[in-house]
Amino acid sequence: MNPAILAASRANELWYALPLIVVVSLVYAATRHEQMGPILLHALRFAAMVVGFMAAVLVVLVAVSHFGGVVLVILAVAGLGWWLARAWHARRTAGQQSPPTAIGRTESK
């Protein structure tokens, strides 16, 4: 079979994601808001997040299929490094927080 025809037939399956994303976004937004304006804005933002997540997963899957397991190792090391950096930064800044000041409080004698 011609690879172009096979790729085109697989691309047609992606059209099923469009109504699914629209419906899920609208229902999720409608559970958070009552007015139509905020529902549509929230649905648009949520749909953009879903499409972005799907695109990120697609990029990872294409990279893994093209480069093999090396990409998974690189992603795992990068994720572990990011997590360790956040934990280190959180511990470092936790001790530097100043105590709340007594501005505006009156002392009773």
What token pair was written down for 19? 């109504």
pLDDT, tens only, 89-109: 998 888 666 655 556 555 555
State how far the Cα of 97 lies from the Cα of 16, in Å rounded to an integer: 50
1 has a pLDDT exceeding 80: no
State how far the Cα of 15 lies from the Cα of 8, in Å rounded to an integer: 12
Q: In degrees, to the nearest 5, what angle opens at C-alpha 100 toward C-alphas 86 and 107?
A: 170
Alpha carbon separation from 48 to 19, 21, 41, 67 (Å, rounded) = 14, 9, 11, 28
pLDDT, tens only, 52-66: 999 999 888 888 888
- Is the pTM for the entire model greater than 0.75? no
Place of tokens 């105590």: 99
Query: Which of 66, 46, 70 shows the shortest CA–CA distance to 58?
Result: 66
End-to-end CA distance of the chain: 92
State how far the Cα of 92 lies from the Cα of 106, in Å rounded to an integer: 34
Query: Which of 18, 20, 16, 46 shows the shortest CA–CA distance to 31?
Result: 46
23 has a pLDDT exceeding 90: yes
